[in-house]
Protein backbone atom coordinates (compact mmCIF):
# COMPACT_ATOMS: atom_id res chain seq x y z
CA UNK A 1 0.00 0.00 0.00
CA UNK A 2 1.32 3.42 -0.92
CA UNK A 3 1.73 5.79 1.97
CA UNK A 4 0.66 9.38 1.50
CA UNK A 5 2.36 12.07 3.57
CA UNK A 6 0.54 15.03 2.09
CA UNK A 7 1.31 17.21 -0.93
CA UNK A 8 4.91 17.61 -1.95
CA UNK A 9 6.30 21.01 -0.90
CA UNK A 10 7.47 23.18 -3.77
CA UNK A 11 9.27 26.41 -2.93
CA UNK A 12 7.42 29.40 -4.44
CA UNK A 13 9.22 30.99 -7.37
CA UNK A 14 10.89 34.28 -6.50
CA UNK A 15 10.05 37.33 -8.62
CA UNK A 16 12.53 38.24 -11.33
CA UNK A 17 14.57 41.42 -11.15
CA UNK A 18 12.94 44.09 -13.32
CA UNK A 19 16.30 45.64 -14.25
CA UNK A 20 18.52 42.84 -15.48
CA UNK A 21 16.48 39.86 -16.65
CA UNK A 22 19.04 37.34 -15.41
CA UNK A 23 18.49 37.29 -11.63
CA UNK A 24 15.73 37.27 -9.09
CA UNK A 25 14.99 40.52 -7.30
CA UNK A 26 16.26 39.03 -4.04
CA UNK A 27 19.57 37.98 -5.60
CA UNK A 28 20.20 41.43 -7.06
CA UNK A 29 19.38 43.09 -3.76
CA UNK A 30 22.02 40.93 -2.11
CA UNK A 31 24.51 41.33 -4.95
CA UNK A 32 24.31 45.13 -4.98
CA UNK A 33 25.51 45.24 -1.39
CA UNK A 34 28.23 42.61 -1.72
CA UNK A 35 31.71 42.58 -3.19
CA UNK A 36 30.88 39.03 -4.32
CA UNK A 37 28.23 40.50 -6.62
CA UNK A 38 25.27 38.42 -7.74
CA UNK A 39 27.48 35.62 -9.01
CA UNK A 40 28.90 35.03 -5.55
CA UNK A 41 25.51 34.31 -4.04
CA UNK A 42 24.19 31.65 -6.37
CA UNK A 43 24.91 28.03 -7.24
CA UNK A 44 27.65 26.77 -9.51
CA UNK A 45 24.96 25.78 -11.99
CA UNK A 46 23.43 29.25 -12.34
CA UNK A 47 26.60 31.34 -11.80
CA UNK A 48 27.47 31.62 -15.53
CA UNK A 49 24.02 33.08 -16.23
CA UNK A 50 24.42 35.95 -13.71
CA UNK A 51 28.15 36.52 -14.03
CA UNK A 52 27.74 39.78 -15.95
CA UNK A 53 24.68 41.04 -14.10
CA UNK A 54 24.75 44.87 -14.25
CA UNK A 55 22.84 45.26 -11.01
CA UNK A 56 25.93 44.38 -8.99
CA UNK A 57 28.70 45.29 -11.41
CA UNK A 58 31.45 47.83 -10.81
CA UNK A 59 30.21 49.95 -13.72
CA UNK A 60 26.87 50.54 -11.95
CA UNK A 61 27.01 53.46 -9.55
CA UNK A 62 26.54 52.86 -5.83
CA UNK A 63 26.94 49.09 -5.88
CA UNK A 64 29.48 47.66 -3.44
CA UNK A 65 31.74 46.63 -6.31
CA UNK A 66 31.50 50.15 -7.83
CA UNK A 67 32.55 51.74 -4.54
CA UNK A 68 35.48 49.34 -4.19
CA UNK A 69 36.53 49.94 -7.80
CA UNK A 70 36.71 53.70 -7.13
CA UNK A 71 38.99 53.03 -4.17
CA UNK A 72 41.11 50.50 -6.04
CA UNK A 73 41.73 52.74 -9.04
CA UNK A 74 42.39 55.79 -6.87
CA UNK A 75 44.98 53.87 -4.89
CA UNK A 76 46.49 52.59 -8.13
CA UNK A 77 46.87 56.17 -9.36
CA UNK A 78 48.49 57.41 -6.16
CA UNK A 79 50.50 54.40 -5.04
CA UNK A 80 51.40 52.36 -8.13
CA UNK A 81 50.68 54.39 -11.28
CA UNK A 82 50.79 52.90 -14.73
CA UNK A 83 53.79 53.59 -16.96
CA UNK A 84 54.03 56.99 -18.66
CA UNK A 85 53.29 55.57 -22.12
CA UNK A 86 50.08 53.95 -20.90
CA UNK A 87 48.95 57.11 -19.16
CA UNK A 88 49.65 59.16 -22.28
CA UNK A 89 47.47 56.79 -24.32
CA UNK A 90 44.74 56.94 -21.66
CA UNK A 91 44.75 60.75 -21.78
CA UNK A 92 44.57 60.64 -25.56
CA UNK A 93 41.55 58.33 -25.37
CA UNK A 94 39.95 60.65 -22.80
CA UNK A 95 40.30 63.48 -25.31
CA UNK A 96 38.58 61.46 -28.01
CA UNK A 97 41.73 60.60 -29.94
CA UNK A 98 41.96 57.39 -31.94
CA UNK A 99 45.76 57.53 -32.12
CA UNK A 100 47.72 54.35 -32.72
CA UNK A 101 49.05 52.38 -29.76
CA UNK A 102 52.66 52.59 -30.89
CA UNK A 103 53.99 51.35 -27.54
CA UNK A 104 51.60 48.41 -27.30
CA UNK A 105 50.30 49.47 -23.88
CA UNK A 106 46.54 49.24 -24.52
CA UNK A 107 46.35 45.68 -23.07
CA UNK A 108 47.70 47.09 -19.78
CA UNK A 109 44.82 49.56 -19.67
CA UNK A 110 42.30 46.81 -20.44
CA UNK A 111 43.73 44.55 -17.74
CA UNK A 112 43.22 47.25 -15.12
CA UNK A 113 39.75 48.14 -16.35
CA UNK A 114 40.85 51.62 -17.45
CA UNK A 115 40.02 51.14 -21.13
CA UNK A 116 37.97 48.83 -23.32
CA UNK A 117 37.06 48.10 -26.91
CA UNK A 118 33.82 49.64 -28.13
CA UNK A 119 32.81 48.22 -31.50
CA UNK A 120 36.42 47.20 -31.93
CA UNK A 121 37.75 50.70 -31.24
CA UNK A 122 39.87 51.50 -28.14
CA UNK A 123 38.03 53.76 -25.69
CA UNK A 124 38.52 54.96 -22.13
CA UNK A 125 36.26 53.38 -19.49
CA UNK A 126 34.53 55.16 -16.59
CA UNK A 127 37.26 53.81 -14.33
CA UNK A 128 39.81 55.34 -16.68
CA UNK A 129 38.32 58.75 -15.99
CA UNK A 130 38.45 57.99 -12.26
CA UNK A 131 42.13 57.10 -12.62
CA UNK A 132 42.98 60.34 -14.44
CA UNK A 133 41.02 62.38 -11.91
CA UNK A 134 42.99 60.73 -9.11
CA UNK A 135 46.24 61.56 -10.90
CA UNK A 136 45.24 65.20 -11.33
CA UNK A 137 43.41 65.83 -8.05
CA UNK A 138 45.06 67.09 -4.91
CA UNK A 139 44.69 64.40 -2.26
CA UNK A 140 45.35 65.29 1.35
CA UNK A 141 44.53 64.21 4.87
CA UNK A 142 40.98 64.96 5.97
CA UNK A 143 39.09 64.59 9.22
CA UNK A 144 35.88 62.58 8.94
CA UNK A 145 33.11 61.66 11.34
CA UNK A 146 31.14 58.43 11.07
CA UNK A 147 27.49 59.43 11.22
CA UNK A 148 25.96 55.96 11.17
CA UNK A 149 26.40 52.48 9.76
CA UNK A 150 24.21 49.99 7.92
CA UNK A 151 25.22 46.44 8.75
CA UNK A 152 22.88 44.95 6.15
CA UNK A 153 24.13 47.06 3.23
CA UNK A 154 27.67 47.02 4.72
CA UNK A 155 28.01 50.79 4.30
CA UNK A 156 28.68 53.80 6.51
CA UNK A 157 27.77 57.44 6.11
CA UNK A 158 30.57 59.85 6.97
CA UNK A 159 30.88 63.62 7.14
CA UNK A 160 34.07 65.07 5.63
CA UNK A 161 34.93 68.29 7.46
CA UNK A 162 37.02 69.84 4.66
CA UNK A 163 34.48 68.98 1.95
CA UNK A 164 30.83 69.50 2.89
CA UNK A 165 30.40 68.76 6.59
CA UNK A 166 26.60 68.74 6.38
CA UNK A 167 26.42 66.34 3.39
CA UNK A 168 27.26 62.78 4.49
CA UNK A 169 28.81 60.51 1.88
CA UNK A 170 28.51 56.73 1.73
CA UNK A 171 31.55 54.47 1.96
CA UNK A 172 32.05 50.75 2.40
CA UNK A 173 31.85 49.70 6.01
CA UNK A 174 34.40 46.93 5.50
CA UNK A 175 36.83 49.44 4.01
CA UNK A 176 36.81 51.49 7.21
CA UNK A 177 37.17 48.40 9.38
CA UNK A 178 40.00 46.97 7.26
CA UNK A 179 41.91 50.26 7.10
CA UNK A 180 41.50 51.34 10.72
CA UNK A 181 41.34 48.03 12.59
CA UNK A 182 38.38 49.35 14.61
CA UNK A 183 35.39 47.31 15.70
CA UNK A 184 32.21 47.92 13.68
CA UNK A 185 30.10 48.78 16.72
CA UNK A 186 32.57 51.46 17.82
CA UNK A 187 32.28 53.43 14.58
CA UNK A 188 29.07 55.52 14.91
CA UNK A 189 30.04 59.00 16.11
CA UNK A 190 33.74 58.22 15.80
CA UNK A 191 36.25 60.73 14.41
CA UNK A 192 38.73 59.32 11.91
CA UNK A 193 41.27 60.60 9.42
CA UNK A 194 41.48 59.62 5.77
CA UNK A 195 42.93 60.71 2.45
CA UNK A 196 40.47 62.61 0.28
CA UNK A 197 40.15 64.73 -2.85
CA UNK A 198 38.22 67.55 -1.21
CA UNK A 199 37.98 69.54 -4.44
CA UNK A 200 35.52 66.96 -5.81
CA UNK A 201 32.34 68.57 -7.11
CA UNK A 202 29.99 65.71 -6.21
CA UNK A 203 29.78 62.94 -3.64
CA UNK A 204 30.24 60.36 -6.40
CA UNK A 205 33.61 61.91 -7.27
CA UNK A 206 34.79 62.12 -3.67
CA UNK A 207 36.96 59.09 -2.92
CA UNK A 208 38.18 58.35 0.61
CA UNK A 209 41.11 56.03 1.26
CA UNK A 210 43.35 55.07 4.16
CA UNK A 211 41.00 55.45 7.13
CA UNK A 212 42.85 55.81 10.44
CA UNK A 213 41.74 56.10 14.04
CA UNK A 214 44.11 58.92 15.01
CA UNK A 215 42.02 61.94 14.02
CA UNK A 216 41.81 64.87 16.50
CA UNK A 217 38.41 66.46 17.09
CA UNK A 218 38.22 69.56 14.85
CA UNK A 219 37.80 72.95 16.51
CA UNK A 220 34.18 74.06 16.54
CA UNK A 221 32.77 70.56 16.20
CA UNK A 222 31.82 70.02 19.86
CA UNK A 223 28.25 68.82 19.70
CA UNK A 224 25.41 69.29 22.10
CA UNK A 225 24.61 66.18 24.08
CA UNK A 226 28.17 64.99 24.49
CA UNK A 227 28.55 63.57 20.97
CA UNK A 228 32.29 64.15 20.73
CA UNK A 229 33.33 60.85 19.14
| Digit-coded pLDDT (tens) for 84-110 | 999 999 999 999 887 788 789 999 999
Give pLDDT, residue 71: 97
Residue 155 has pLDDT above 50, yes or no: yes
- Can you give the pLDDT at residue 225? 41
Backbone angles phi, psi at 89, to 5 degrees: -65, -40
pTM for this one? Answer: 0.84
Neighbour order of strands in the sheet with 155-160: 169-172, 155-160, 140-150, 191-196, 208-212
Question: What does the pLDDT average to over 13-42?
Answer: 90
At 211 the three-state DSSP class reads strand
Which residues lie below 8 Å from residue 11, measured CB to CB, with a gap of 6+?
none
Please give the Cα distance from 98 to 103 (Å, whole number): 14
pLDDT at 215: 62
The stretches of the chain forming alpha helices (DSSP H) are 25-32, 47-50, 64-79, 84-94, 106-111, 126-136, 173-180
Q: Quick one: which of 9, 59, 6 has its CA closest to 32? A: 59
Q: What is the pLDDT of residue 8?
A: 58
**pLDDT value at position 2?**
55
pLDDT of the residue at 229: 42
Band of residue 14 on the pLDDT scale cut at 50, 70, 90: confident
Query: What residues contact residue 99 under an 8 Å CB cut-off, 6+ apart?
Result: 89, 92
Q: Picking from 61-65, 199-203, 214-218, which range would have the lowest pLDDT averaged per residue? A: 214-218
Domains of the chain from N-terminus onward: 25-56 (no CATH), 67-136 (no CATH), 140-212 (2.40.50)
pLDDT at residue 210, rounded to an integer: 96
Amino acid sequence: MDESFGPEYVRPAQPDCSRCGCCTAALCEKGRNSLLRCSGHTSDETRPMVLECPCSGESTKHTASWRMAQVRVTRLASELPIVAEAEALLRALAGGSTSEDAEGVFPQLQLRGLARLVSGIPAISPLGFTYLAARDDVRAGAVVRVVDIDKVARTARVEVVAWRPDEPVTVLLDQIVSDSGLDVDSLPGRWLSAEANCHADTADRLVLTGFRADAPLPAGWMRVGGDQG
